[in-house]
Structure 1
């Protein structure tokens, strides 16, 4: 008698996280944003080896020159090559954006984990975070820079501080939900240490939302740095940043609008690209968004 063979049950396969990066090319708009941000980043990183003029070299005889073969975007009011300053300015702006995202996520993660797990600390921590969020981020950044002086480190710290409460509250909300799960209660019941529970069971749940939040922090930091520089409260004016270039060019806007147009265009493209990638990351990493997409 023939024995029927039952079909073997297939186990669910978990996709490696690296494969989830396919969201970077999920739609033509996201693909364009990824390519645009990649080109801006590549130009900023490779600026020292590219055939560019010195962005700090003053040449009064070449001031406000139009676009030419020697100066592709012309020169500014001090005779400096505008293209070189824009590309080198991207190094500072992107560095501050990435640095603010990493620092705010690092500090906010620790605060959120502690607040969400230890309820007796939560009330004090969250009231401090609420106090920081009540102060407008630009005013808080200007106050920090005024007390410590303008420098790259000071500007980075001044931009990071207002972003920490948002990250901390996000992590706290995830931890409050995750700590009620059976596997966390089981870990507590068997006597696992608090550090092990937070590191192995709670923190992995925060990775996906933190990646999304990090993109928004990066875009916000780039814009805030440009605003501070435009107001004269950021990095020293001779240092090429997109905000500094636009601040110097506003006095000559009627004579040469390109002094503001080109750095403004680069700033807009960078922020738009980061925000679009952040939206795509949210759709790819959030199970609820993927479920909606499948139902549609």
Structure 2
């Protein structure tokens, strides 16, 4: 009787999903994280409108200038407007984060599906993935950038390569788990071909985990790009990125601490907001957590 009552009272899946969203979004911490991420996106999209200064224009007469009506956050050691570089740095971070997330998700999905479904390819693929994961991601990224040069494309490739094995392992685990599900066995017994079985019955199960993994890949890519640029192994120094700003300003930290603090604070807030939103997506999309 209790089980029957529970089935009657339980809301439809769509309503339950919406209720989980409302519960998560009602948290003040989540609201702040959304506001921070929305502000960063607004900075990136509207950077030319929010500041008319050229972020790469050098003016030696204005070097290490203080805050003024013309330069809201002052200038750096080359006389470049700090506020304009901070805004345009958001563009670089979001492009790198989105590009690395999309590329690693697509590559990892394809490779993970092949490894999870075709047993003969599984052993070879996973040994290669294990070998890539055995190398620290930052060292692998530095090596790739050093070999190919510091352009936006090469930095994206260097950040994407270490992230692919994580996605492959995730997708492979989902595919292996789905192979034993009754609906998959029923499709096999009805003569479903491999491509139909994969893309209609098994791959859709990977969407929710990939979305959650994508948020953490996004944050990791932004941090890796900033680290590479700070170490001088990333984008060229004239490109306004938060890592380059901190690298250029560290020599003058005692004189003008804002050169390091401004991009560092924005970077930290962005990473914190993305990770909080990733936790929210995990809680909403994972039915096992929702049932608790």
Quickly name the TM-score band, shorter chain normalised: over 0.9
Give the C-alpha shift of residue 18 in structure 1: 9.1
TM-score calculated relative to the size of structure 1: 0.92
- State the alpha-carbon separation in 2 of the partners of residues 25 and 145 from structure 1: 40
Counterpart of 2:90? 90
C-alpha deviations, 1:111-168, integer Å up to 9, x for none?
Answer: 1111111111111110010000000101111111111111000000000000000000
Structural mapping, 1:95-134, within 5 Å: 95-134=95-134
- Structure 1 outlier segments of 4+, above 6 Å: 9-12
Unaligned runs of 5+ in 1: 1-8
C-alpha deviations, 1:57-107, integer Å up to 9, x for none?
Answer: 111111111112211111111111101001101100111011111110110
- State the alpha-carbon separation in 2 of the partners of residues 149 and 23 from structure 1: 47
- State the alpha-carbon separation in 2 of the partners of residues 32 and 25 from structure 1: 10
SS at 1:15 equivalent: helix
- Report if the CA contact (8 A) 1:253-1:260 is conserved: yes
Count the aligned residue pairs: 284
Counterpart of 2:218? 218
Counterpart of 1:154? 154
1:37 aligns with 2:75: no
- State the alpha-carbon separation in 2 of the partners of residues 284 and 11 from structure 1: 17
- State the alpha-carbon separation in 1 of the partners of residues 28 and 11 from structure 2: 30
Aligned-residue RMSD, C-alpha: 1.8
Which has the larger displacement, 174-183 or 23-32? 23-32
- State the alpha-carbon separation in 2 of the partners of residues 275 and 11 from structure 1: 31
Unaligned runs of 5+ in 2: 1-7
1:75 aligns with 2:37: no
Counterpart of 1:14? 13
> 1:147/1:257 Cα in 2 relative to 1: closer, same or farther (>3 Å)?
same
Counterpart of 2:289? 289
TM-score calculated relative to the size of structure 2: 0.93
Which structure has the highest helix share of the two? 2
Counterpart of 1:3? none
Counterpart of 1:245? 245
